[in-house]
């Protein structure tokens, strides 16, 4: 079963036509990677799905509901958790307050469990969001979205600007979430680390899907990986 289905999205910012018929699916319990260069339209795709930048054409279904023109809070209310690009931590709120902003959907995640699973956030719970390091902010952004108890997790470049060790930690959280039955749509530029944990990979270029296939297959195609990862991403090699 697919928990998320996206069909033929055409999304615009004002007059600029950004997405040209993007289609993708996220099957239940899988990690789906959405890769692509800077400016390819990955963030726009996620923003269309969560309702921040609704598409002008096309259809989005979340758990079978046609959510194409729903408001973001209604879509989130179905159990679609979105971790935005650049974290967007509330800088004027403490760590604990950041965790209390989301709507409280029933599920396993509580403030207490977050502090058990993210000891670093527990230590910093009374600090303002603006006082956190990049890694801590990413942890908080993910934990904050987990407080919604989502069944689908859509993350926009969670590894952006983080040290390799922290990237591993972040990716571990994602695989842990999948083990608990959460389906994942992972937008990344960190190609190697992403295909290592993903089940399926899409590649977006210039607002169109140019590749779709099993992540393992994509990982084997060294030429494709190198073309997409570029020289700068070589250092993201993950062990095992």
Ligand X SMILES: Nc1ncnc2c1ncn2[C@@H]1O[C@H](COP(=O)(O)OP(=O)(O)O)[C@@H](O)[C@H]1O
* Residues in contact with Mg ion by the rule CB under 5 A: 43, 85
Q: Is residue 207 close enough to count as binding other proteins by CB under 8 A?
A: no
* Cβ atoms 213, 32 nearer than 8 A: no
Whose Cβ is closer to ligand X: residue 40's or residue 177's? 40
CA 153 from chain center: how many Å?
A: 6
CB of 90 to other proteins, least distance (A): 4
3-class secondary-structure state, position 24: strand
Chosen from Mg ion, ligand X, other proteins, none, partner binding at 223 (C-beta under 5 to 8 Å by type): none
Chosen from other proteins, Mg ion, ligand X, none, partner binding at 216 (C-beta under 5 to 8 Å by type): none
How far is residue 222's CA from residue 208's CA, in Å, rounded to a whole number? 22
* Cβ atoms 184, 200 nearer than 8 A: no
How far is residue 111's CA from residue 140's CA, in Å, rounded to a whole number? 11
Q: Is residue 232 close enough to count as binding ligand X by CB under 6 A?
A: no
For 49-165, strand residue ranges (E) read 57-62, 65-66, 80-83, 152-156
Of 41, 74, 43, the closest CA to residue 158 belongs to: 43
Residues 217-236 that bind other proteins (CB under 8 A): none
Residues 6-45 that bind ligand X (CB under 6 A): 13, 16, 18, 36, 38-44
Chosen from Mg ion, ligand X, other proteins, none, partner binding at 100 (C-beta under 5 to 8 Å by type): other proteins
Residues 119-158 that bind other proteins (CB under 8 A): 144-145, 147-148
Of 193, 188, 143, the closest CA to residue 164 belongs to: 193
Residue ranges that bind other proteins, judged by CB under 8 A: 50-52, 71-73, 76-77, 82, 84, 88, 90-93, 97-98, 100-103, 105, 144-145, 147-148
């Amino acid at each position: 079963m697919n928990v998320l289905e996206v069909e033929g999205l055409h999304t615009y910012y004002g007059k600029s036509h950004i997405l040209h018929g993007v289609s993708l699916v996220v099957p239940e319990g899988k990690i789906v990677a959405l890769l692509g260069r800077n400016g390819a339209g990955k963030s726009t795709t996620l923003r269309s799905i969560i309702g921040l930048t609704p598409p002008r054409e096309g259809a989005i279904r979340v758990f079978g509901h046609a959510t194409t023109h729903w408001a973001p809070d209604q879509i989130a209310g179905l159990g679609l958790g979105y971790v935005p690009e650049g974290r967007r931590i509330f800088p004027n709120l403490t760590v604990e307050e950041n965790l209390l902003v989301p709507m409280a959907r029933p599920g396993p995640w509580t403030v207490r469990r977050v502090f058990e699973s993210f000891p670093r956030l527990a230590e910093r719970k009374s600090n303002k969001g603006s006082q956190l390091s990049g890694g801590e902010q990413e942890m908080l952004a993910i934990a904050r979205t987990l407080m919604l108890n989502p069944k689908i997790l859509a993350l926009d470049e969670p590894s952006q600007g983080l040290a390799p060790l922290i990237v591993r930690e972040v990716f571990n959280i994602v695989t842990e979430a999948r083990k608990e039955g959460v389906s994942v749509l992972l937008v990344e530029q960190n190609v190697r680390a992403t295909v290592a944990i993903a089940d399926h990979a899409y590649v977006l270029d210039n607002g169109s899907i140019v590749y779709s296939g099993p992540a393992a297959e994509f990982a084997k195609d060294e030429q494709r990986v190198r073309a997409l990862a570029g020289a700068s991403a070589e250092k993201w090699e993950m062990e095992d």
